[in-house]
Structure 1
Amino acid sequence: MRVAETDADRESCFAVRREVFVDEQGVPEELEYDAYDAGAVHVLAVREDGLPLGAGRLLTGEAAAVKNGGAADVGALGRLAVLKVARGLGVGAALVGAVEEAARGRGMAAVDLHAQTHALGFYERLGYVAYGAEFPDAGIPHLAMRKSLG
C-alpha cells in the first residue's frame, strides 16, 4: 500500500480503475476520469512483484467540499477499485485505511464517500454511516456515507 507518487504509480491507479469501472461495470470512460484526478492523492495497492491490485483517491480542500456539501475539514474518498483477483483478501479495507491516514495527515476530521449500494456493508464494517437519499451516479445507485477520524 502506498501513495502514488510517480507517474507510473498514477497510471497503475488509472489502469485498475479502467478495468473495474469501465470494463467491468460499464461506466463511460469520460465519466470515470475527471478534473479532480490531477490534484487528488491517489493510493495504490500492489503485490510484492509490483503488480497493481487496487486503487483509491482522496480529495481535499475545495474539491472535497464540492463532493461533501461544503465542509472544509472533510475529505472525500472515491474511485476505490480492487481487481477481481484480489477481492476478498483485505485489499479494499487496506486501501480505505491508507486513504484515511492520508486524510488525517492533511488535517481532515472526517471522510465522506459515495458508496455503490451493493458495497454498503463493506463500508459499514469500516465505520462509515450512510446519510441522505439514494442517488444515481453513472447509472449506478449510491448512498453518501461519512466516518469521523477523531
Structure 2
Amino acid sequence: MSSFVVRVAAAPADREACFAVRNAVFVVEQQVPEEIEYDALDAEDADTVHVLAVAADGLPLGTGRLLYGPAAADRTGGDASVGSLGRLAVNKAARGLGVGVALVRGIEDAARERGLAAVDLHAQTQALGFYERLGYVAYGPEFLDAGMGHRAMRRVL
C-alpha cells in the first residue's frame, strides 16, 4: 500500500469514497455524530473541493476538503483570500504512510489554483504537531468541536 495518488474527487464515485472514509474515521472511530459530520458544504454546488487519496489497487485511503469563497467565510473571518482545510481523514490502516501529508499538500495546491493566499484549519489538539510540521501556526484559544479540543491554525501559501 506504499503507492497512492491524491486527486480531486470530481466523479460521484470519488465523492462517495470520500464520505466513506470520513464515516469510518469520524463517525465510527471517533464517534462524531453523523448529523454533524456531513453538512451543506458537502453538496456538489458548494464552493468546496474534495480530495481523495487512492491506493494503486483503487482502495480509498484518505480524504480532505477545501472551502473557499462564501463557503469559507465563517471559518476565515470573512477573508476571501483564505481557504479552510477540513474533514482531513486517513483510514487507520493507511496511517504513517504519508497519506495525510499528501492530502494537505493537495488541498494547498487546490487553494493556490483558486488564488488563495493562505489556508486555515481547525486541528484536533492531538494533531497540532502534525500540522506544525507542515508549516501551520496555531492561534487563538482552544475550543470544543464535536466534544473534542481544537485550535485554529493557518499557513501562508
Q: Which residue of 1 aligns with 2:105?
A: 97
Q: Between the two proteins, what is the percent identity of the paired residues?
A: 72
Gaps of 5+ in 1: none
**What SS does the corresponding residue of 1:75 show, helix, strand or coil?**
strand
Q: RMSD of the alignment, in Å?
A: 0.5
2:20 pairs with 15, 22, 32, which one?
Answer: 15
Work out the CA distance in 1 between the residues paired with 2:77 and 2:30.
27
Question: Which 4+ stretches in 1 moved above 3 angstroms?
Answer: none
Q: Which residue of 1 aligns with 2:124?
A: 116
Q: Which residue of 1 aligns with 2:87?
A: 79
Give how far 1:32 is off: 0.2
- How many residues get paired? 149
Work out the CA distance in 2 between the residues paired with 1:7 and 1:135.
34
Scaled by the length of structure 2, the TM-score of the pair is 0.94
Report which of the two has the higher share of helix: 1
Gaps of 5+ in 2: 1-5
Q: Which residue of 1 aligns with 2:65?
A: 57
Q: How does 1:10-49 map to 2 (within 5 A)?
A: 10-38=15-43, 39=46, 40-49=48-57
**What SS does the corresponding residue of 1:15 show, helix, strand or coil?**
helix
Q: Which residue of 2 aligns with 1:139?
A: 147
Give how far 1:68 is off: 1.4
Work out the CA distance in 2 between the residues paired with 1:48 and 1:24.
25
Query: Could you report, residue by residue, the CA deviation over 1:68-103 in whole angstroms, capped at 9, with x for unpaired residues?
Result: 111111000000000000000100000000000000
